[in-house]
Chains A and B, each alone.
Chain A
Amino acid sequence: KAGVTQTPRYLIKTRGQQVTLSCSPISGHRSVSWYQQTPGQGLQFLFEYFSETQRNKGNFPGRFSGRQFSNSRSEMNVSTLELGDSALYLCASSLVWGAGKRTEAFFGQGTRLTVV
């Protein structure tokens, strides 16, 4: 069974540019969440999507956005990149089968974004 797939694995961007990261969840998983990991702030929740709707959002500026498609694949976008956006971005998926019923989150390999 394929795991969570994130593309690209590595990315170098220039300040002011924008970037889009992709996450393909495990087949059948409709919940996709995103996390940012930096040395200074640790692992922080960005947002979560379920059935194409954003259900939860962390404390990040509006430059960070995301979406989920009908096949549950998700993208996150960061506009006007800043040096501080350099981080490992992790995506996780989980299976939800009822209210309050979900599996644990399974993490992808991450996308390492470097902003120069």
Chain B
Amino acid sequence: ELKVEQNPLFLSMQEGKNYTIYCNYSTTSDRLYWYRQDPGKSLESLFVLLSNGAVKQEGRLMASLDTKARLSTLHITAAVHDLSATYFCAVDIIRDFGNEKLTFGTGTRLTIIP
């Protein structure tokens, strides 16, 4: 059974600092996603990582994927208050037609302190 572990669960950061969220998964996957969720809201897609060594950046967020280590990271650079949210990684194994099943990590609740 695929397991996705995410850490830390809670992260409190000062504005302007850098930090990294880690996502480990237990079996080979086809895609790795990072999502953001604001309180009471749905999931907002941030990044989709498809291959080993993939790196994507959007603003102060950068995601990378190491398929050999089964590890993805979400790096936050010079954090600002607007980045306060819960971040989830999710792993997708694509089989045939249909058969989609995202397995999510536990989420990291990020709080940026002014």
Contact = CB atoms under 8 A, between A and B. Distances in A.
A49 B101 CA distance: 11
Contacts of B58: none
A55 B42 contact: no
Contacts, number: 73
Contacts of A50: 97-99
A56 B72 CA distance: 26
A108 B42 contact: yes
Contacts of A110: 41-42
Interface of B: 31, 33, 40-43, 45, 48, 88, 90, 92, 94-104, 106-107
Contacts of B94: 100-102
A105 B98 CA distance: 11
Contacts of A76: none
Interface residues of A, number: 33
14 contacts: A33-B101, A35-B104, A42-B104, A42-B106, A43-B88, A48-B101, A49-B98, A53-B98, A56-B100, A96-B97, A98-B97, A99-B96, A102-B94, A104-B48
Contacts of A108: 42
A55 B102 contact: no
B72 to A, nearest CB: 15
A109 B48 CA distance: 20
Contact of A35 (B31, B96, B102): B102
B100 A102 contact: yes
Contacts of A96: 97-98
A55 B88 contact: no
Given A42-B107, A51-B97, A98-B97, 11 more contacts: A35-B104, A42-B104, A43-B102, A45-B101, A48-B99, A55-B97, A96-B98, A100-B94, A100-B96, A105-B102, A106-B45
B104 A48 contact: no
Contacts of A48: 98-101
